[in-house]
A = this chain, B = another copy of it.
């Protein structure tokens, strides 16, 4: 057996004992310490830099350059514990306090939740009316449709006491499960005024929970946090890899920890034990990890999940700290890469109920696009890449404190920017990147292919990865070193926006429509909300349509989950949407490859598709 060694993480001071030879990255995951990683500890992303003191050893193949190593900061995933060590995690290596999108519009005028509460006054038994307690309760519920309900043994064991506590006045909470129903809870007296549910949006990056009053239809509290799984990899593919390597249990634990912590945050006036239903929207991989289902087949062709429509399960089985019998409903998905979060977006948008042709784009850690109306729906997913969330961009970061979120480029290429929280700049987030690239392109500093044009020595300079543009000089940054954007960064952003645009084009074309036939464009997802519409159109991320057709929905997944908690009808519609949506697999689609290639320009090869953009662009 390997010797054990103590690792202390700073600034938190958290300690853990691990076997000698464990990487600092694994120790941090084990200890629940927040540490950035895009690749999941594979030495690829360079995001998990830490400073180490004590008895440690660097891997022979350490991804950092000798110069970088001289600064005394190493990658946690390529540094191994040999004895007692103290590890300092700098601010730049944690997710930080970010802006997580929690705004959403769940519309429900008259709540009619799947978790129904019915108050009954049951006639007490007599010798002539001697039905047993359970059958008496069922008779009282009558045609409200329970049939032979299922229930937990615990409820049955308390039944006799509960119905007698308030003189045969009792409130039954129940829910339909398929063709049958389940008695969730039984309370003495009339508690129909108290019905609380939890909407949960499990994103790859962020998790949002919203406590709803299912009687008034109002939001009680909302809370958000980064998904603690981030330390095991930032995108769904690295999470699958981590799971395949034996980490499924850890991933499940981490997301449950994240949600249960948020439950504590929202359950203040309302105790968590009073929350008797929950509805979860998440992409298919997140739902797999949440339930402990093996996601490995989603990564390999033909990309098959264990379940797109898992049955509802009690909170105690799932591992949520709500009322133990609270049914946890999962919004059904369509495929491995078009999950329940997209179904929830559709529900929140209402596009499945309207005649007009609508396009829905969800830009999160992945990109998904849905096209359709009340007659048909077609959806697809594109690996948009993490460029808008800070991945594959040298100074990319999430929308957290110190991120450049807004930038405007003047005619002489001077730059004004503002950071989140007004702090010194630490990096550039998605909306900042779009502003920057749009500005540089419109002002003529970038050509259609995203290459820098001409040389302006004070701003554009040669770098290690081709030319780079100095966004913020050292004076204005937290580290004291300049923040730049490189041609390589710009190529990655262009690839991301091209994938999204191409996905939308393929859907529109394959159904014999034209982009201008789209009457409504719904933009969902964490990133969409901070987008400058005109700038996003100018780089070809969004189609060049009349601006009033765009609808920024905010967190559509959360809104859809909330709506399904509030309305049985919406919950039923979610199943129908998932079932009737046609899924288009783009990874093997020739038209997509061709559309993608055409979109790898600013804004697009075909200038006619972006008539409003060209008049603005200053030719170089």
Binding site for B on A (CB under 8 A): 125-127, 130-136, 147-153, 156-157, 159-161, 177-181, 291-294, 296-297, 301-311, 313, 317-318, 335-336, 583, 585, 588
Contact = CB atoms under 8 A, between A and B. Distances in A.
Given A150-B311, A160-B296, 17 more contacts: A127-B302, A127-B585, A130-B335, A132-B306, A132-B336, A134-B307, A134-B309, A134-B310, A135-B307, A147-B178, A149-B178, A149-B311, A150-B178, A153-B313, A156-B306, A157-B292, A159-B306
27 contacts: A127-B303, A130-B304, A130-B336, A130-B583, A131-B308, A132-B307, A133-B306, A134-B307, A134-B310, A147-B178, A148-B178, A148-B309, A150-B177, A152-B317, A153-B291, A153-B292, A153-B313, A153-B317, A153-B318, A156-B291, A156-B293, A156-B310, A157-B292, A159-B306, A160-B293, A178-B180, A179-B180
A132 B297 CA distance: 10
Nearest to A333: B132
Per CB-CB distance, the 3 closest pairs between chain A and chain B, nearest first, are A180-B180, A148-B178, A134-B307
A134 to B, nearest CB: 4
A293 B157 contact: yes
A437 to B, nearest CB: 34
B130 A297 contact: no
Contacts of A291: 153, 156-157
A179 B306 CA distance: 25
A286 to B, nearest CB: 15
Nearest to A302: B127
B127 A301 contact: yes
Contact of A159 (B161, B179, B307): B307
Contacts of A156: 291, 293, 306-307, 310
Given A147-B178, A588-B127, A305 B133 contact: yes
Contacts of A151: 311
A127 B583 CA distance: 10
A102 B554 CA distance: 69
A313 B125 CA distance: 26
A33 to B, nearest CB: 28
A132 B130 CA distance: 48
Contacts of A294: 157, 160-161
A302 B585 contact: no
B125 A302 contact: yes
Contacts of A133: 297, 304-307
A156 B317 CA distance: 12
Contacts of A160: 293-294, 296-297, 306
A278 to B, nearest CB: 15
Contacts of A179: 147-148, 179-180
A273 B180 CA distance: 28
A499 B561 CA distance: 63
B293 A135 contact: no
Contacts of A292: 153, 157
Nearest to A180: B180
Contacts of A148: 177-179, 309, 311
Given A178-B150, A180-B178, A125 B310 contact: no
A546 to B, nearest CB: 36
Nearest to A137: B307
Nearest to A292: B157
Nearest to A317: B153
Contacts of A305: 132-133
Given A161-B294, A177-B150, A317-B153, A130 B302 contact: yes
A317 B155 CA distance: 13
A605 to B, nearest CB: 28
A293 to B, nearest CB: 6
A136 B308 CA distance: 10
A178 B146 CA distance: 10
A390 to B, nearest CB: 31
Contacts of A308: 131-132, 134-135
A436 to B, nearest CB: 38
A159 B303 CA distance: 15
A549 to B, nearest CB: 32
Contacts of A583: 130
Contacts of A125: 302, 304
Contacts of A301: 127
A123 B583 CA distance: 19
Indicate the member of A180, A308, A336, A583 with the most B CB atoms within 10 Å: A180
Contacts of A135: 307-309
A589 B317 CA distance: 49
A251 to B, nearest CB: 13
B130 A303 contact: yes
A180 B149 CA distance: 10
